[in-house]
Amino acid sequence: MNDYYKILGVTRSASPEEIKKAYYKLAHKYHPDKGGDGKEFKKINEAYQVLSDKTKKNQYDKFGRVFDGAETRPDMGGFDFGGAGGFEFDLNDIFGDIFGSSFDKRDLRRGEDIKIDIEIPLSVAFTGLRKKIKLQKFILCSRCHGSGAEPGTSIKKCFTCGGTGRVQQVKRTFLGSISRTTICPECGGEGQKPEKPCSVCKSEGRVWGKTEIEINIVPGVDTNQILRVPGQGNAGRNGGKSGDLFIRILVMQHPIFERRGDDLFFRKQISFSQATLGGDIDIPTIENKKLLLKIPAGTQSGKVFRLSNKGIPHFMGKSRGHLYAEIQIQVPKHISKKQKQLIQELKKQGL
């Protein structure tokens, strides 16, 4: 049985910082990429994985070995077999290993997606707009151009996983030994490591910075609609594919028009004489143009007129919604003496 403390050259009372310092010193000395002994490096790595983990270290100190994944969590259905030599198991972990691998098969180098909100006036929802926006995100490292390696140095296959990005873990349970595939802790699942990490990005292949991109807001967009801009999310790690940018549109309220789908509604006040006698009135539009609307004689308050194809364009379509004008008869608050006399005469006539 290997003595992990002896392998790292530390005492049992060593602090986490002392254990970490000892590991880095030995790993640098024995790493295969630096001409060291591969078998010795594996022993050093195994010792550090146990002694740097508080739970595993406690198990090792108590039993002289580690039962991986044996932490009991009562809220997740864990069982304690204390009478069987201190074995503890979580059934959720065990059956998860049996029926599914813990290795995530997604592209681990792919950059994260970014989600932002953009507020636009209703006029932009009508016309559309190409505009430049500034973003803070991970961008490609200009020194290593995304490789993660210092210029002039090479990328080498990870010794720990053999370039697969995966390693096998064996758990000992009351059901027997269970094997599962996990992400390689040495290379983070990439299968390779730079010979010498980039001095700027520290082998990430990307750095945090500001950038400016141009986006296209298509006519007809509406509130809570999501626009996807492929490849404009965070840059990927070590040359991986960039994530996407998702833009949630928020359309501001308009002082005149109310939007309902792709139709526009507004209220138009006319005088009593206009409603009674009829006539032509000016109607505003979203294009800032005036239209003439013929008001028939005897129009009642609340009457709605439709002006076809004068609303918002259908998203990614050629046709448009409609414009609806609701007529409201305006009652004056103040009238002159002569107007009052005329209204009294109309009252006598039954109006």
Helix (H, G, I), strand (E, B) or coil at 64: coil
H helix intervals, 112-208: 122-127
Q: Flag whether pLDDT at 281 surpasses 90.
A: yes
Q: Flag whether pLDDT at 69 surpasses 80.
A: no
Read off the DSSP letter of residue 155.
E
- Distance, C-alpha 192 to centroid of its chain: 27
Q: Flag whether pLDDT at 243 surpasses 60.
A: yes
Q: How long a stretch of residues is the chain?
A: 351
Q: Which of 106, 93, 101 is nearest to 188 (CA)?
A: 106
Query: Which of 15-24, 100-109, 234-243, 277-286 shows the lowest mean pLDDT across its residues?
Result: 100-109
Helix (H, G, I), strand (E, B) or coil at 267: strand
Handedness of CA 114, 120, 126, 132 (dihedral sign): negative
What's the burial of 223, exposed, middle or buried (CB within 10 Å: 0-12/13-18/19+)? middle
Q: What is the pLDDT of residue 173?
A: 66
Helix (H, G, I), strand (E, B) or coil at 217: strand
Query: How does residue 187 score in pLDDT terms, banded at 50, 70 and 90?
Result: confident
Give the C-alpha separation, 335 to 210, whole Å. 63
Rg (the chain; Cα; Å): 36
Q: Which of 159, 137, 151 is nearest to 236 (CA)?
A: 137
Handedness of CA 194, 195, 198, 203 (dihedral sign): positive
- Per-residue pLDDT of 132-143, as tens digits, reads 999 999 999 999
Q: Flag whether pLDDT at 244 surpasses 70.
A: yes
- Distances from the Cα of 300 to the Cαs of 292, 303, 329, in angstroms? 19, 6, 8
Structure tokens given for 155: 């990328």
The DSSP element (H or E) to which 49 belongs, if any, is helix 38-51
- Per-residue pLDDT of 300-337, as tens digits, reads 999 999 999 999 999 887 899 999 999 999 988 888 99
Q: Say which residue the tokens 């002006």 belong to.
A: 307
Give the C-alpha separation, 324 to 256, whole Å. 12
The CB density around residue 7, as the number of other CB atoms within 10 Å, is: 19
- Per-residue pLDDT of 164-179, as tens digits, reads 888 877 777 666 667 7
Query: How does residue 346 score in pLDDT terms, banded at 50, 70 and 90?
Result: confident
Pair 165, 158: CB distance under 8 Å = yes
- Which domains occur in the chain, in start order? 107-140+205-252 (2.60.260.20), 258-348 (2.60.260.20)
Which tops the pLDDT comparison, 185 or 217?
217
Query: How does residue 180 score in pLDDT terms, banded at 50, 70 and 90?
Result: confident
The mean pLDDT of 17-23, rounded to a whole number, is: 88
Residue 39's contacts (CB-CB under 8 Å, 6 or more residues apart) are: none
Cα 126-316-253 angle, rounded to 5 deg: 30
Q: What is the pLDDT of residue 3?
A: 87
Q: What is the pLDDT of residue 345?
A: 87
Q: State how beta strands 245-251 and 114-120 pair.
A: parallel
Which tops the pLDDT comparison, 260 or 81?
260
- Angle subtended by helix axes 54-63 and 38-51, to nearest 10: 100
The mean pLDDT of 195-202, rounded to a whole number, is: 91
Phi and psi torsions of 317, nearest 5°: -125, 175
* Single pTM value for the model: 0.61
- Distances from the Cα of 17 to the Cαs of 4, 23, 26, 265, in angstroms? 16, 10, 14, 68
Which tops the pLDDT comparison, 239 or 74?
239
